[in-house]
Amino acid sequence: MRIYMVRHGETDCNVRGMFYGWHDCDINEKGIAQATSLHEYFKDVEYDKVICSDLLRAKHTAEIIVGDKECEFITNEKLRELSFGDWENTYPDDIHKQYGYDTKNWGKSIWDAGLIPNGESHAQFYDRIVAGFQEIVAENKGKTIMIVAHNGTLCALFAYLTGVGRLGYWNFFAHQGCYNSFLVSGERVLVEGINIPAK
């Protein structure tokens, strides 16, 4: 099966540099333009189904990409970004002031449960994403699908599909306005491209 993956378009929270995992914001004007560029690329590409995170920014991006193309369209909450719990919709400086935690170095300890108050550890997040993806693959064998989600979600999937596992998560970044393509056949994965500009 071929799997296309797309990160949602830019949001104002991206521009402000906020932590906003499950905070449900929409894409901004630039995000709409990025999704429109992807629509232009994919309008002549055949795919059977779009599966997107149920958060608005991913759903809106997916709706623009699909346009009037006839295909199955479903949302899946397992594809959500990392839950930042009490850190949702806040700035890194505010987290440092309130919790005494320097988020610039959080990659060293974010795997620990309880680091983010009422949020997910990175290990919990990675396991959720992989389990959800395995379900998607099992249900869509032989199909071409598109997943529209978040940077964290896609980085977890890149780490999983390339075999580096969760500790290799920080080696990846999913750019907005680009697409990613993988061929999955049983245990074999072919990486066709990561962060391909939609041109």
Name the catalytic one among 10, 23, 60, 81.
Answer: 81
CA torsion, ordered 15, 39, 47, 160, to nearest 10 deg: -20
Name the catalytic one among 8, 23, 122, 150.
Answer: 8
Cα four-point dihedral sign 80, 86, 87, 89: positive
Which amino acid, residue 28?
A: N
Q: Residue 115 carries which DSSP code?
A: S
* Residue 96 annotated in active site: no
User: Radius of gyration over alpha carbons of the chain, in Å?
Assistant: 16
* Residue 63 annotated in active site: no
Mode of pairing for the β-strands spanning 49-52 and 144-149: parallel
Are the beta carbons of 147 and 136 closer than 8 angstroms? yes
The residues that are catalytic are 8, 81
